[in-house]
Structure 1
Amino acid sequence: MSSPRDMRVAAGERLESAFNRVVPRGSGPLLLLVVTTVLIGVGIWRLSEDIPLVTLLVPLVVSSLVLGPRQLPWFVVFDLLVLAVVVPSQREISPRIVMTVIIIFGLGFLVLMSSFRRNRLGVAGIRGETMFVDLRDRILSQGGIPDLPDGWYAASELRSAGGTPFAGDFVVASRVDGRLEVAVVDVSGKGEGAGTRALLLCGAIGGLLSALPPSEFLAGANRFLLHQEWDEGFATAIHLSLDLRTGRYDIRSAGHPPAALRHAGSGRWEVLESEGPILGILEDPEFPATSGEMRPGDALLLYTDGMVETRTRDISLGIDRMLGQAERLLRGQFEGGATRLVEALGSRNDDRALLLVHRR
């Protein structure tokens, strides 16, 4: 025989099950908006002089933010139906009332169109934006410089065209077997237009950087881009493989501006020319390496063309200007130097990325 406690638990479960059949799980916002709309409609019907028709826009706007793509179209229709019902309660159908009704129906139509487009994602507006931002943060976190041993300093900076968080330039770094592996990449396009392609490529580049030997990294990235078959499926990149024990480095470029090395002994900057085809164009390209050694006090710069090229200035002149500014802005203080260089150089209409490596 069941105890009173078991009977109460069973009764509670039956009540919860019945409630979920009437109000499906996750329908709380929809139910609240329906009740709010009904109350607003009743208020307009009874107090038409004190509550304007435009009040019905409030639940309409809120619904576009919190409801999913399946619920939103039905609620928009419901809201507009309430509007149609309460319009006759107005004492006088003036031109102002007519314009208000037209505007509300027009905004309702726009919300419907946005809900149909949102069906491709399958989540509500705020939730979808949160998911996208979280995806961006998780992928771009791969660009963080890993912890380096004493005697080394590295920092990267990124600025996008228009100041948005999405850019076609990015930096990916990894520490593998005592080496610092870094790729600075410039995806075709700029700003938000290149942002989605850059996010996908950033995730792939991060995996390839840790999985492939340095000599095969750019070839692997090239194969990945070719398989995407994007309309704008090319990118430039420069890859640094730095031995943190000896200071030996290999630099390979894929159509990218050359790296620059500051020799502590002479205090002069050397442009490290390296050649290689753009990623995503050729089937089996070769990426020859430029090798050398960073000695104590040396510094290395890797950057994208947004740092040195503008519509009115050739890239070679831009590199000369950047190195002159680097000598003036760094002055032996390399901590924070990447930020100072990005803020002082480049076009505000183009994405900019820069990596600074210093051997203390």
Structure 2
Amino acid sequence: MAHNESSVSRRPRYAAGPIRRLRLLGPWLSRAPWAVVTGFLALGILASAAVFVWPTVVPWGVYGLIVVAAGLFLEPRYLLVVYMGLILAMAILGAYLGPIKSTTTGAQIVTVVTMLLMIWLSHARAQVGVVGVSGESMLVDMRDRLRAQGELPPLPPQWGAEVALESAYGDSFAGDFVVASRSTDGRTLEIALVDVSGKGREAGARSLLLSGALGGLLGEMSEGGFLASANNHLLRLRWAEGFATAVHVAVDLESGNFTIGYAGHPAAAQFAAGSGRWRMLAGGRGPLLGVIDHAEYPRENGTLRRGDALVLYSDGVIEARDKALVDGIDRMLGRAESFIRTGFEGLAQRLCDQAAAGLGDDRAVVTIWRT
């Protein structure tokens, strides 16, 4: 059997954006905070001079720009110094320009309210120990790391696999994630699709934490022990909403034999090229992860022959509020039947796009096929 690697569907890597570039200011800001304070006070003086000289040309909104910029890059104690200086400048200017600018009082009130909002935002950042836009950058890194966990390893040329993940309402974070691993000898491919309780951003942090742990277990545990170890891990975490569903499959890339097990997860679907039909792999059922101690997770065995395919999916692909679950499964298989006429490539994304839940739930699909 040839072991030359072929390319598989991978998620695009995310280039460093402006938020990540701005976070480089964080260390400098923490080393020289009073220099930054002086800079913002100097900008306040320049703005005051401009408003005083050209009261009908320069708007009071120039103070708003300084207020927002200072709120983004300063800790609360330094921010208060800048804002006190700006309030003093506005009070003096208001006394001189009140008869000239009828909107002086209203502009000052809006600016002070903006200051209060930025102080609250700065305090929230200080509680987690970040400066500037480091907090937003950390969230971007978390999102990209979660997506990178779902990248599939290279496969032999006669095998293909794809992953499609979509979050509820287009959020950056999702409760569904995928972890994958290929054994050191290249023979076994293991993939786990996990659906954490909740959806969108509320489940994003739990997904990231759990994906790292399960990614470490994948390939290190025996095929039959993976779900049990994952269940024990969630029980130790003691989350208030610490349950999850999962499906785990291990495929022998030489023989095509596979084993599959579920932890409260919807049954996978297998396409048999010989009959041209889909069938549900309903065996190997086990309870939710993180609910029952010492739970057992049986496995179901199967074989992927040439032209066969396996589809793993989350409940968002088949569940709809106004329809029975069996109707959602029939709908998904009907879509898959029409999509595979042009091949299995792109099937995962198409099933995600045509999910029964629409945009209202997280959706995830993994396809594995043998040519």
Task: Tell me by how many angstroms 1:159 deviates.
Answer: 0.7
Structure-1-length-normalised TM-score: 0.88
Task: Tell me by how many angstroms 1:93 deviates.
Answer: 8.2
- Separation in structure 1 between the aligned mates of residue 180 and residue 35 of structure 2, nearest angstrom: 44
- Separation in structure 1 between the aligned mates of residue 259 and residue 31 of structure 2, nearest angstrom: 60
The C-alpha deviation readout for 1:213-236, integer Å capped at 9, x for no partner, is 221111121122122222211111
Task: Tell me by how many angstroms 1:132 deviates.
Answer: 1.8
Moved more, 52-61 or 260-269: 52-61
Aligned match of 2:263: 254
* Runs of 5+ consecutive residues of structure 1 not aligned to the other structure: 1-22
- Separation in structure 2 between the aligned mates of residue 30 and residue 134 of structure 1, nearest angstrom: 29
Moved more, 52-61 or 302-311: 52-61
Structure-2-length-normalised TM-score: 0.86
Task: Tell me by how many angstroms 1:51 deviates.
Answer: 2.6
- Separation in structure 2 between the aligned mates of residue 267 and residue 255 of structure 1, nearest angstrom: 28
Amino acid at match of 2:197: S
Matched, 1:350 2:361: yes
- Separation in structure 1 between the aligned mates of residue 31 and residue 361 of structure 2, nearest angstrom: 48
- Separation in structure 1 between the aligned mates of residue 237 and residue 31 of structure 2, nearest angstrom: 40
Distance 1:75-1:176 versus aligned 2 partners, 3 A rule: farther
Aligned match of 1:96: 103
Q: Is contact 1:45-1:86 (8 Å) kept?
A: yes
- Separation in structure 1 between the aligned mates of residue 308 and residue 259 of structure 2, nearest angstrom: 15
Matched, 1:308 2:315: no
Q: Is contact 1:172-1:183 (8 Å) kept?
A: yes
Larger Rg: 1
Q: Is contact 1:48-1:89 (8 Å) kept?
A: no
Aligned match of 1:168: 175
Paired residue total? 338
Distance 1:27-1:298 versus aligned 2 partners, 3 A rule: farther
Matched, 1:292 2:302: yes
- Separation in structure 1 between the aligned mates of residue 354 and residue 151 of structure 2, nearest angstrom: 22
Task: Tell me by how many angstroms 1:211 deviates.
Answer: 2.4
Amino acid at match of 1:283: D
Aligned match of 1:209: 218
Matched, 1:280 2:293: no
Matched, 1:80 2:91: no
- Separation in structure 1 between the aligned mates of residue 38 and residue 367 of structure 2, nearest angstrom: 55
Q: Is contact 2:64-2:111 (8 Å) kept?
A: yes
The SS at the match of 1:92 is coil
Task: Tell me by how many angstroms 1:26 deviates.
Answer: 6.3
* Runs of 5+ consecutive residues of structure 2 not aligned to the other structure: 1-29
Aligned match of 1:16: none
Task: Tell me by how many angstroms 1:308 deviates.
Answer: 0.3
Task: Tell me by how many angstroms 1:95 deviates.
Answer: 6.2
Task: Tell me by how many angstroms 1:209 deviates.
Answer: 1.1
The C-alpha deviation readout for 1:19-73, integer Å capped at 9, x for no partner, is xxxx954666544323211211222234434333232001111223333555434
Task: Tell me by how many angstroms 1:94 deviates.
Answer: 7.0
The C-alpha deviation readout for 1:130-152, integer Å capped at 9, x for no partner, is 12211321232121010001210
- Separation in structure 2 between the aligned mates of residue 233 and residue 346 of structure 1, nearest angstrom: 26
Aligned match of 2:24: none
Amino acid at match of 2:336: A
Distance 1:93-1:116 versus aligned 2 partners, 3 A rule: farther
Which of 215, 233, 238 is the aligned partner of 1:229?
238
The SS at the match of 2:246 is strand
Aligned match of 2:5: none
Matched, 1:150 2:157: yes
- Separation in structure 1 between the aligned mates of residue 77 and residue 306 of structure 2, nearest angstrom: 62
Aligned match of 1:5: none
- Separation in structure 2 between the aligned mates of residue 338 and residue 345 of structure 1, nearest angstrom: 11
Amino acid at match of 2:67: L
- Separation in structure 1 between the aligned mates of residue 141 and residue 190 of structure 2, nearest angstrom: 25
Amino acid at match of 1:231: A
- Separation in structure 1 between the aligned mates of residue 146 and residue 325 of structure 2, nearest angstrom: 30
The SS at the match of 1:150 is coil
- Separation in structure 1 between the aligned mates of residue 80 and residue 126 of structure 2, nearest angstrom: 11
The C-alpha deviation readout for 1:241-283, integer Å capped at 9, x for no partner, is 1111111111110000000101110011110013110011111
Q: Is contact 1:68-1:123 (8 Å) kept?
A: no
The SS at the match of 2:103 is helix
Distance 1:25-1:95 versus aligned 2 partners, 3 A rule: closer
Matched, 1:334 2:341: no
Aligned match of 1:45: 52
Q: Is contact 2:98-2:104 (8 Å) kept?
A: no
- Separation in structure 2 between the aligned mates of residue 212 and residue 72 of structure 1, nearest angstrom: 52
Which of 184, 188, 192 is the aligned partner of 2:201?
192
Identity of aligned residues (%): 41
Amino acid at match of 2:46: L
**RMSD after superposition:** 2.0
The SS at the match of 1:154 is strand
Moved more, 74-83 or 162-171: 74-83
- Separation in structure 2 between the aligned mates of residue 46 and residue 321 of structure 1, nearest angstrom: 70
Amino acid at match of 2:361: D
